[in-house]
């Protein structure tokens, strides 16, 4: 298995989690926890920058780019499914 692909998928998952949690905590948190939300946002932005640099090498591998697209598609599909489920539960 391609270790570059495994590491990049782990970073994408951590990045999306940090950005999502950071936004929620920074917006809904109390004054003490908002600082932690901003730290999560900074860590998520740092991971996003690292992934952008890793993906924009002189010759990014095709398997890396295909893996990233597949992983992002799966994550976005899962997030959209959860949102649809929550809307259906809230409306009923």
pLDDT of residue 43: 92
Q: What percent of the chain has pLDDT over 70?
A: 86
Rounded Cα distance, 45 and 13, in Å = 13
Q: Which residue has the higher pLDDT, 36 or 65?
A: 36
**CA proximity to 11, closest of 63, 57, 55:** 55
**Per-domain residue ranges for the chain?**
3-91
Q: What is the pTM of this model?
A: 0.63
């Amino acid at each position: 298995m391609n270790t570059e692909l495994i590491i990049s998928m782990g970073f994408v998952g951590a990045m999306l989690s940090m950005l999502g949690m950071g936004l929620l905590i920074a917006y809904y948190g109390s004054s003490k926890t908002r600082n932690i939300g901003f730290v999560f946002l900074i860590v998520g932005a740092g991971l996003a920058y690292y992934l952008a640099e890793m993906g924009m090498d002189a010759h990014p591998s095709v398997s890396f780019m295909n893996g990233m697209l597949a992983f992002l598609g799966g994550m976005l599909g899962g997030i959209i499914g959860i949102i649809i489920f929550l809307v259906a539960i809230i409306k009923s």
